[in-house]
Structure 1
Amino acid sequence: SVLFASLADAADRPPCSCAVLVLCDLEASSYPVRPAEDAATLLLERLGLAACGDALAASRRRFFRALSCARDAVVCERVLSTADADEAYPAVMYEELIDCYRPDPTRMGDLDRATGLPQALVPFAERAGEDALHANLAPGDDASDAEAWEVPASGDVSPAARGRVVLPREGGSASGDRPATPVLSPSAIESYLECPCKWFSLRRLRLSEPDAGFGPLEMGSFSHGVLKSFYEHFIEAGNAKVAPGNLEEARSLMRETFARHLAFQPELKRKANPLLPLTAFERAEAHGLERRLVSYLDREAALLPGFAPAYFELDFGAKEPFAYGGFELRGSVDRIDVNGRGQAVVIDYKGSLSPDYALASASPAATAGGAVLPHKVQALVYAQVARRLLGLEVVGALYVSYGRDGRVAGAFDRTFVGAADVPGIDAEA
């Protein structure tokens, strides 16, 4: 027999009372770690009678009791991406469980890139795509009765909606005899190439949730600020870049920088996307981000030997117009590394990288002059900014992940940069 139960009900069962326990939906959104807040708890808190409970400790106890009810096997299931194609954060209990199978939980290099699991668990893991989901639409037991909806190609828009969605021909500010032109950011161009409807809702309608979030956007903004401040102080201390000889000094400074930036997050305005860990789970997530940034320094020490970071968050298009491809661009380049010959590599930080970031990954719908464009174009546009504004010879445009996956993607000139100089990259892609 099969019993469907909540995690709390499974935790109340006696030890070894079921043969197999299948734990589903092990994402942070399904199992948030936060104290219960209802009318009763708020009233007791106002009267000074609230119990001092640790939500994280309670979640750990409940999860452990649920695990102990299985006699033969435990199966854990989680999704890797949300409905919006963003990274789905795993539940903190799931992360602590798989950490038990890692030789050194402080190092990220032993994790499998595809699954995020320790190598000891990889042989037991299976990945399932969404190819057969339409079978659930079958009216009976025969999946062949189901009808799958045709999903339009990325970037495809119906003729009726095209007039409302396409980029405006005008709208930027005009000065003198210069006609008004749109002012875009490379990230806006990227989202438009991915899907004009997505660009329209995010960039034109600016749809967003009313409350401050604690997700990839806030994590990314915070991490960019920490990395910029870290390197500025690291260079002031007399270091050209992170190298094997100064790793301990770099790790210490990264921890100090992280703590300093986390302390002033409540002072930031909403548009700066402050990272505000308010619950025990969010504090644990912030601590995990600190560990990832410190671990990233090991990869940073091996990245681009012979080049040194020279520019951080380089703004363009704000004071002086920067024209490119018939439009005006505005934005900032995360980092530019330069060698002694004036050659440069542009770096765009990412929390994680999907296969779409490879230069060989092309969009079937987005074309310009008959040429198929890559899915991701930010780093390539930033390379043009470095070339035109700074007069540098750009020999690489890279997306560098500071997350667990440790990947690097993008493009580089093999004449000046070797694949060994960019650990984590699929050089053929």
Structure 2
Amino acid sequence: MEELRTRVYLHPSFDAALAARKACARASDACSLGATFTTPEAFVADLWEVWGDARRIVSAQERLVAVRAVLARQGAFARTLGTARLLARFVERYAGTRELDQALRGTFPSEDVTPHERAVLDLVRAYQAALDARGLVEAGQAARVLGDVLADGLGADGELGAAGVAHRITCAPGLDMAPAVEQLLTTLGWAREEHAAFAVPAPDEGVEPGLLIPAGATATPAAVLDETMRLVGAAATAPRALDVVVCAPDPRDLYRALAPHLAEAGIACGLTCRVPFGATALGRAWASTCALVEDDARWIAAATDFAYGAFSGMRAFEAQRLNAELRRDRLLTCADARERLRGASPFFAHFETLARGGFEEACRALDAVEACAKEAEGSSPLARPEERGALSALRGLLETARDLAAGDAFPDVVRDVAPTLSVPLSTLALAAPKGEGRQQARDGRQDAPLRVAQLASPQPAQPTSPSFAQTASPQSAAVLFTGLPTPGSLAPRSADAVILADVTDASFPAAPGADALDALARKLGLPTPPDPLDGQRRAFAAAASAARRRFTCVMPLRNEAQEETYPAFAFDEYVEALAATCGSDGELTEEGNALLPGFLARAARRFGEDALVRGMGRTFAAPEGAVELAPARRGVLETLDMADHLPSVAEGARRLPVLSPSAIEAYLGCPYQWFVTRRIRLNELDEGFGALETGSFAHAVLAAFYDALAARGCARVPADAVGWQEASILFDEVFAEQVAAQRTQDPAASSRLVARAEAEVLAVERLREVLRESVRRQARFAPTYAVCAHELEIKPDQGVDYAGARLNGRVDRVDVDAAAGRYLVLDYKGSSERHAAGFPDDADPAAFALPRKVQALVYAQALRGRFDGLACAGALYLGYRAKSDGAFAAGSFDEAAGDLGEFGKDSSRVHMNFARFLDLVEEKIAPHVRALMEGRIAADPASKEACAHCPVASCERRLS
């Protein structure tokens, strides 16, 4: 009877099971005849199909959808995907155990079960009821039923007893399975073998270890290519094709980068992986739409991503225009973005219905998306196999959700579960005729490398698949790109060479496997899940054991963000095992953050990132017909004439640049900063709520207030109590009018101040108090002067020249003392600190240095002659945020024109003829204007303030 038992070999995956069957067949092992090679879950499903009831075992997607639907009908836990996945893992592992069944009936082995843990059990109970109502059953529950029946037997003839179902079961080492499935196997006669803790071993005898050390992520593709070509060259005389497996975190990137070069070299290369739904164009469009439907805080980014995506149907300039419109107007809302996308994209309305509607509406919307995509001009978004797979996966999710999450919960469940979808992808690039690969790579057709054959039914391929290996010529090679290994994903000695493209802790993390429900499992007496680190070790070992001749690890020293990387713990254990087998030559040496055996460090090949074209170029070769350019030098215009790039006016033989006083001041602060901000104009696209907008608004409020005051016959703010009270009421009215007017201004033509959040509304209210206090202080400032002009324009056609430039600007305010025949130029600032620009009585005019702020002085000189018979008495900056009179006004004022009292500091006094002082300032500025016209824009900051808001963060002259 022993010989008639069915032999069952259980493995962690179908790939591993298929590889094991092939290995037995190659070894002519007679025990493989009539044997079953499968996974524990599939074995239970086969038994259930024969001996089970009418219920069907639930799939992983159905489980997640059903759990998320149950969450929608409770209020104890957050209705999120994370919560649903946590509960789904708990149910998948422990369903069918006696301990969980007892807890669901209200019997607890421990008394300290918390109310939240009881709520978890309530959810599990509701989930199981939902499965029962739809004729579904968990694999663990099915195993429990089968185990009970097989243990007890049915009928006198033992038709379904243990004797009637005879199996000899063998499990792969380290195989993880649910406790209920394990109990079923025990009932069928399987005896668990106790194994010691798994450790990563050294490679098998005859397998050469290799190590590639790229300096950074951009050098990794070149390193992998170099290793592959070395292997191919070494095997040039081999009787058969060399087969190489490359395991990478994202094999698609490596495949797209290397396939053209490999195919041109006569090497067939294939790709097999699973593409996350969110990495497909359809998935990105779906995610963007869901964010817009849910009013996500990142709705601008979501709208932009959708507009630029393949499923928007929008042209590039339309997407750019939409992005600019959304970013420059902070009053726009997510609803506005949805409305604009409906008008600009033929797809968006369908995606919106897909994200909001019930099953029937969603299916019709998905059909419409498919139809629009097929009719799209140019390349269809569905031309790529992963997009067709994503469409099919989403359609399958809709059908699953229809069965398990009907009603109002349907849209939420679909939106939450869709990110968990993935699409199988298999691609094959055949060897190309000489030169064709380089030409296609040069043309940029990298996604469809060379004579690409898309497999009709993408399935996970094995490295030893004959259909793949036979594509290479007898003296060439076949390279398969696949994802990172998992336990059992690669068969032992199944490839000549294995390249593990990333052995950092990002690919093999040492994160603990505990979750929030482990405590509940312990209280219920449920068995502890295996250590996740054991799985990582076995995955690494699977890659090493798959190599017959060479096993190469790639250890980049920096990641894509140029941050230092650290070797994975599994790689460290592998290195220790290598060192132990090498005796004295295994002495460890430091390399980056890793310790390597001496022989491995010496044999390692290092790749720098200095050759950018070779590191990032599509063919990893030097460009043909390249023209070497002289290196650019910061601050030097080699071929441009600055005069051709500045507004200017011509008067006879003279050509004068048109400059504003603020531009002159910026050039004095740092020529390079002036060039970047004024000529290149590195302006932010987004409308802000900062110093620029606040300053513009404050200027507008003060100008409108003084205009309103003048309309009532007042030339200055009344200083008496009664007059100030009336002025204060007027100020509040003007302020409110200006706040309301901000929303009607064109954001593209103004720096308006519009509040959206409550904190911003409060900031505007605080600004009201600040400006009112400033106006009250202005009532006592320069009492003999009256406001004469506000926002006074100086236009180029007025012919006002200054230091060799034609002026163009706007003076904030001019006050006039008619009796004394003088005027003051005033410029509003948030703060006037460090704006003092006086001239001491013992100073030497020849040694005079220009002050940091000259804008008001330029205006003061420009207005000489504008007011007949009036002399300039000062050029001052008024800090409207000043908290004291002494901090209110600073700049330059003529001490002979009178004393400003508590508002005038000695550091602002000019102890010389003020007209001569203004001439002196102009004389000092003139050489700088000439330098500007000559194109001198070297980085030369005059102070730290010049660097404070400069966008050139990498400037070598930047002052801290």
**TM value normalised by structure 1:** 0.58
Aligned match of 2:708 in 233, 246, 250?
Answer: 233
Paired residue for 1:351? 830
C-alpha distance in 1 between matches for 2:733 and 2:655: 46
C-alpha distance in 2 between matches for 1:301 and 1:229: 16
Aligned match of 2:637 in 164, 168, 173?
Answer: 164
The 8 Å contact of residues 247 and 297 in structure 1, kept in 2 or not, is answered as no
C-alpha distance in 1 between matches for 2:827 and 2:636: 33
Classify 1:369/1:185 alpha carbon distance in 2 versus 1 (closer, same or farther; 3 Å): farther
Paired residue for 1:426? 905
Match runs of 1:26-175 below 5 Å = 42=295, 160-164=633-637, 168-169=642-643, 171-175=646-650
Cα distance per residue 1:164-188 (max 9 Å; x no partner): 3999356334446253321111111
**TM value normalised by structure 2:** 0.27
Identity among equivalent positions (%) equals 35
Offset, 1:272? 1.4
Higher helix share: 2
Match runs of 1:17-416 below 5 Å = 42=295, 160-164=633-637, 168-169=642-643, 171-175=646-650, 177=652, 179-245=654-720, 246-269=723-746, 270-341=748-819, 342-355=821-834, 357-360=835-838, 371-391=848-868, 392-406=870-884, 407-416=888-897
Cα distance per residue 1:339-380 (max 9 Å; x no partner): 12321011001111231x111599xxxxx9864100000111
3-state SS of 2:717 partner: coil
Classify 1:297/1:396 alpha carbon distance in 2 versus 1 (closer, same or farther; 3 Å): same
The 8 Å contact of residues 838 and 893 in structure 2, kept in 1 or not, is answered as no
C-alpha distance in 2 between matches for 1:208 and 1:43: 26
Classify 1:167/1:193 alpha carbon distance in 2 versus 1 (closer, same or farther; 3 Å): farther
Paired residue for 2:491? none
3-state SS of 2:849 partner: strand
Offset, 1:41? 5.5
C-alpha distance in 2 between matches for 1:167 and 1:218: 34
The 8 Å contact of residues 395 and 412 in structure 1, kept in 2 or not, is answered as yes
Consecutive unaligned residues in structure 1, runs of 5 or more: 1-37, 50-158, 363-367
C-alpha distance in 1 between matches for 2:653 and 2:735: 45
Cα distance per residue 1:31-68 (max 9 Å; x no partner): xxxxxxx7795279999x9xxxxxxxxxxxxxxxxxxx
Classify 1:307/1:289 alpha carbon distance in 2 versus 1 (closer, same or farther; 3 Å): same
The 8 Å contact of residues 309 and 337 in structure 1, kept in 2 or not, is answered as yes
The 8 Å contact of residues 814 and 826 in structure 2, kept in 1 or not, is answered as yes
Cα distance per residue 1:323-350 (max 9 Å; x no partner): 1111111101111110123210110011
3-state SS of 1:335 partner: strand
Paired residue for 2:949? none
Offset, 1:201? 1.6
Number of residue-to-residue matches in the alignment: 275
Classify 1:43/1:427 alpha carbon distance in 2 versus 1 (closer, same or farther; 3 Å): closer
Classify 1:403/1:223 alpha carbon distance in 2 versus 1 (closer, same or farther; 3 Å): same
- The range that moved more, 168-177 or 226-235, is 168-177
The 8 Å contact of residues 649 and 806 in structure 2, kept in 1 or not, is answered as no
The 8 Å contact of residues 635 and 672 in structure 2, kept in 1 or not, is answered as no
Classify 1:372/1:268 alpha carbon distance in 2 versus 1 (closer, same or farther; 3 Å): same
The 8 Å contact of residues 172 and 180 in structure 1, kept in 2 or not, is answered as no
**Residue type at the aligned position of 1:256:** E
Offset, 1:243? 2.6
C-alpha distance in 1 between matches for 2:796 and 2:643: 20
3-state SS of 1:352 partner: coil
**Residue type at the aligned position of 1:346:** V
Classify 1:167/1:383 alpha carbon distance in 2 versus 1 (closer, same or farther; 3 Å): farther
The 8 Å contact of residues 715 and 786 in structure 2, kept in 1 or not, is answered as yes
Aligned match of 1:417 in 889, 894, 898?
Answer: 898
C-alpha distance in 2 between matches for 1:361 and 1:217: 31
Classify 1:176/1:378 alpha carbon distance in 2 versus 1 (closer, same or farther; 3 Å): closer
Cα distance per residue 1:171-225 (max 9 Å; x no partner): 3344462533211111111111111122112111111111111111111111111
C-alpha distance in 1 between matches for 2:883 and 2:799: 37
C-alpha distance in 1 between matches for 2:755 and 2:749: 17
C-alpha distance in 1 between matches for 2:790 and 2:740: 22
C-alpha distance in 1 between matches for 2:831 and 2:839: 16
The 8 Å contact of residues 353 and 405 in structure 1, kept in 2 or not, is answered as no
Cα distance per residue 1:69-108 (max 9 Å; x no partner): xxxxxxxxxxxxxxxxxxxxxxxxxxxxxxxxxxxxxxxx
Classify 1:175/1:167 alpha carbon distance in 2 versus 1 (closer, same or farther; 3 Å): closer
**Residue type at the aligned position of 1:280:** E
3-state SS of 1:271 partner: coil
C-alpha distance in 2 between matches for 1:345 and 1:402: 17
3-state SS of 2:890 partner: strand
The 8 Å contact of residues 336 and 346 in structure 1, kept in 2 or not, is answered as yes
The 8 Å contact of residues 352 and 405 in structure 1, kept in 2 or not, is answered as no
C-alpha distance in 2 between matches for 1:167 and 1:221: 33
The 8 Å contact of residues 833 and 890 in structure 2, kept in 1 or not, is answered as no
3-state SS of 2:295 partner: helix
3-state SS of 1:390 partner: coil
C-alpha distance in 2 between matches for 1:192 and 1:176: 24
C-alpha distance in 2 between matches for 1:167 and 1:354: 38
C-alpha distance in 2 between matches for 1:306 and 1:187: 29
The 8 Å contact of residues 361 and 374 in structure 1, kept in 2 or not, is answered as no
Offset, 1:404? 3.8
C-alpha distance in 1 between matches for 2:730 and 2:653: 48
3-state SS of 1:238 partner: coil
C-alpha distance in 1 between matches for 2:781 and 2:865: 25
C-alpha distance in 1 between matches for 2:781 and 2:906: 14
The 8 Å contact of residues 192 and 199 in structure 1, kept in 2 or not, is answered as yes
Aligned structure 1 segments of 4 or more residues deviating by more than 6 angstroms: 43-47
C-alpha distance in 1 between matches for 2:641 and 2:813: 29
**Residue type at the aligned position of 2:830:** G
Classify 1:243/1:427 alpha carbon distance in 2 versus 1 (closer, same or farther; 3 Å): farther
**Residue type at the aligned position of 1:252:** I
The 8 Å contact of residues 650 and 656 in structure 2, kept in 1 or not, is answered as no
Classify 1:300/1:263 alpha carbon distance in 2 versus 1 (closer, same or farther; 3 Å): same
C-alpha distance in 2 between matches for 1:314 and 1:186: 13
Offset, 1:308? 0.3
**Residue type at the aligned position of 1:187:** S
